[in-house]
Structure 1
Amino acid sequence: MKIQNAFRIGLVGTLGVGVGLLILSAIATLSTIIAYVGAALFLALGLDPAISWLERRGLPRWAAIVIVMTGVGLLVAALVLAVVPIIVDQVSQLVDEIPAIFERVSSFDWVESLEEQFPQLAISDLQQQVSAAITDFFTNPEKLSELAGGVLQVAIAVGAGVFAIVIVLILTLYFTASLNSMKRASYQLVPASKRARFADLTEQITQSVGRYVLGQVSLAAVNGILSFVFLSIIGAPFPAVLAFIAFLFSLVPLVGTLSGSILIVLVCLIPGLGSSLTALAAAIYYLVYMQVEAYVLSPRIMTRAVKVPGALVVVAALAGGSLLGILGALIAIPFAASMLLIIKQVVIPRQNEL
């Protein structure tokens, strides 16, 4: 085969590779903005079922949006005013208790008994090295300046997080107001012969994602409230902080409740804060709660959401978390559910027709 005008072919190929690299570089540069847009669209889809419910009751869409957004704002404000001061106070107490906890752990008799049974561990030497390292850290000016720089970086990160939350909330408001027009515009890009099928599938996906978001937030809220009540009853350390951890972890399906429960039980085992009896009571409670959530709460709350196999949930959560952190883990599950819906209603029927 004779190649005509090799220079032109090489030039076009080089330009194509360059354009591809430029697109990939632009995507990498805009990854933060893409994450903001994805989170806002995710939240807008989660609020859409409540807005649609109000629309079916005769309210115009703008009034339904105002009512829903006002309700969400009041709920968040009430949660912040009620929970954040308690969490800040208990975190301050926890920070104040750290030196005492370290001293109690260092002075326990189990260190000597463990050394007698396993002399090769040299726990006392390790303890002395850790104590010397801590003392050197707090007496060395260079280390203290590094600590100050770390504190400054943390403050900058907190400020960036607050800015990101504000941007996501603004985008959520815009997406919620224009969600229907965005869907109608996307329908126009599909050939007329396939437009009705595409619109039906898109509506199913958006409704399923919205129900999933509402259902998962509801399950997380139930776990957080019940955790606060039970941990307060058994005298667990810092119940408000632990309940907030339970709420955050429960936002991640399947693996979140288990991970948060293990973390809470381990906190209850810290000497000077909890006890083995408290940790045992917490472990029994979360074992029972996870069964109730799996067989009672989740089937009732997530009835109309798209079902995703457990193995796929774990894989999707791990993959999404690796790509985009907590946000990726949250978005990965409805994304996997949407892919399953497309496979069931598009791919499999088309394969059956061949």
Structure 2
Amino acid sequence: MGGSKLREVRLSRFERMRGRLRRAYESGRESARARRPADPDERVASPSSPGPAAPPTATVVGAEPSAPVFASTNSQDDGEVPHALRLAAAWCWRLIVIGIVTWSLLKIVGTIRIVIIPLAVALLLSALLAPAVGWLLRARLPRSLATGVVLVGGLAAVIGTLTLVVNEFIQGVPELSEKSSQGVRQIQDWLKTGPLHLSDGQLNRYIDEAQSWINGNTEKFTSGALNTAATLAEVLTGTVLVLFATFFFLRDGSNIWRFLVRLLPVKARWKVDDAGRASWATLGAYVRATVLVAFIDAVGIGIFLVIFDIPFAFPLAALVFLGAFIPIVGAFLSGVVAVLVALVDSGPVTALIILGVVIGVQQVEGHVLQPLIMGRAVAIHPLAVIIGIAAGVVLAGIAGALVAVPLIAVLNTAIRRLAARTVPDTPPDAVVVASQAP
């Protein structure tokens, strides 16, 4: 009797537990159905309105029409605005934001250009000297020693070249001054006997006006000299910064780049790293190709200067070499200086011949050397080059013109790689962790 009561108690507990499990199961099913998106083919009747539900395309008499849904607007009021006007407004405010950000960046760059320009020059020198450091590293030299050897060797080459240029210039100045005086007298004779037929009184009056103008602008010249002194201090400070930055870029460039990439979100690191390495390769190719083109320009013009016995042949060739780092206009402007020296020293016929040589060298550079040496990797449209040089001159003078074109080349490569939909290659130093099989 007691055993039967015990079994009944156990069965009642079991039934209550089973009922609880069933209710929990039914509650879970109802919540899952509520979260599942409704199927338009299902006909689910509402408990408050029994009977079959109306199909999606049915018209319910007496019901209020539903409001139109605009996928591209946030409110019903935006739907009343024409699509073209909304699109134009969206473009306008985005362009305004981009313009404000660009203007702010230019103001910041203009404020700290004393730091930005030396760092940019250091990057150019690092891209030029990096292969030499790589050769010494493959020869088992320590990284610091290899970087120091390359930097000191490059600095010695620059100082030696400048010493030769200055010495030749000092030796040739007296002769050029004498010939300049003769040229001025020839010009005076031509003004008297030429088409203008100026008298001695007119010439003296023009000379007096020029002298009075110089005397009246002495203060401006003095302020310009003070500005030149300040500029000289900035150049010296920038030179020291260039040397230190170049050394550390050559020695620790990879570590610096990895540190900068790690500051970005994880999903963007590989993409940015791929674009940065491609941009660095473009910068190196551009600098090395520019050096080769500048050397060819300097040799070509220098040979004709030697053939026609023009004074300062080596300094003028060195000036052409430096000017060639500013594409399209640099070598031409430096060549014009050679033409003026030829005009003073040897007359108009020789000057016209040197001018033809300068123009010919420029044509060879633009149509043969640039496409052949630089190739498609750093091909930039001439209009972009001219605009970049003009903007660089306005923002930072000669240094800005020097940095503008390689900056455009680097940005061109970086934007193309970032906009590409391909997956970048795995970095060589990446660590891939594979899951073990169970």
Contact 1:313 1:333 in 2 (8 A): yes
Q: What is the match of residue 321 of structure 2?
A: 247
Higher relative contact order (CA 8 A, sep 6+): 1
Please list, as runs of the form range in 1=range in 2, the aligned pairs for 1:228-243 lying within 5 A after superposition: 228-243=302-317
State how far apart, in whole Å, the 2-side matches of 1:339 and 1:160 are.
28
Q: Give the counterpart letter for 2:361 in structure 1.
A: Y
Work out whether 1:212 is the aligned partner of 2:286: yes
Match of 1:42 among 124, 146, 158: 124
Structure 1 regions of 5+ residues with no counterpart? 1-20, 117-121
1:140-159 correspondence runs (5 A): 154=228, 157-159=231-233
How far 1:22 sits from its partner (Å)? 11
- Corresponding letter in the other structure for 1:346: L
Q: Does 1:132 align with 2:208?
A: yes
Q: Quote the Cα distance in structure 2 between the aligned partners of 1:25 and 1:338.
A: 21
Check whether the contact 1:46–1:212 (CA below 8 A) recurs between aligned residues: no
Q: Does 1:114 align with 2:195?
A: yes
| Cα shift readout 1:229-269 (whole Å, capped 9, x = no counterpart) | 32021122432332233122211112222333344324423
> Does residue 1:341 correspond to 2:413, yes or no?
yes
Check if 1:81 corresponds to 2:81.
Answer: no
| Aligned position for 1:261 | 335
Q: Letter of the aligned partner of 1:132 in structure 2?
A: D
Judged with a 3 Å threshold, the aligned counterparts in structure 2 of structure 1 residues 96 and 169 are, in CA distance, closer, same or farther, namely farther
**In structure 1, how many angstroms separate the alpha carbons of the residues matched to 2:306 and 2:289?**
26
- Distance change >3 Å, CA 23–CA 155, structure 1 → 2: closer
- Equivalent position of 1:312 in the other structure: 384
State how far apart, in whole Å, the 2-side matches of 1:249 and 1:225 are.
13
TM-score (norm. length: structure 1): 0.76
Q: CA RMSD in A?
A: 3.4
- Residue in structure 1 matched with residue 301 of structure 2 by the alignment: 227
**1:67/1:305 Cα in 2 relative to 1: closer, same or farther (>3 Å)?**
farther
**Which piece of structure 1 moves more, 319-328 or 123-132?**
123-132
- SS of structure 1 residue aligned to 2:378: coil
Cα 1:197–1:54 shift into 2, 3 Å? farther
Instruction: Give the CA deviation at 1:188.
Output: 0.3
Q: Is the 8 A contact 1:246 1:261 kept in 2?
A: yes
The partner residue of 1:292 within 364, 368, 392 is: 364
Give the structure-2-normalised TM-score.
0.63
Distance change in 2, residues 1:49/1:199 (3 Å): farther
AA in 1 matched with 2:204? Q
1:52 alignment partner in structure 2: 134
Distance in structure 1 (CA, Å) of the matches to 2:244 and 2:202 = 52
Structure 2 unpaired stretches of 5+: 1-102, 423-438
Identical-pair percentage: 27
For residues 308-352 of structure 1, what are the alpha-carbon distances to aligned partners after superposition, in whole Å with 9 as ceiling and x for unaligned?
1222112211211221112111211121112222333333649xx
Check conservation: 2:393, 2:399, Cα contact below 8 A: yes
Matched, 1:330 2:402: yes
Select the structure that is richer in helix: 1
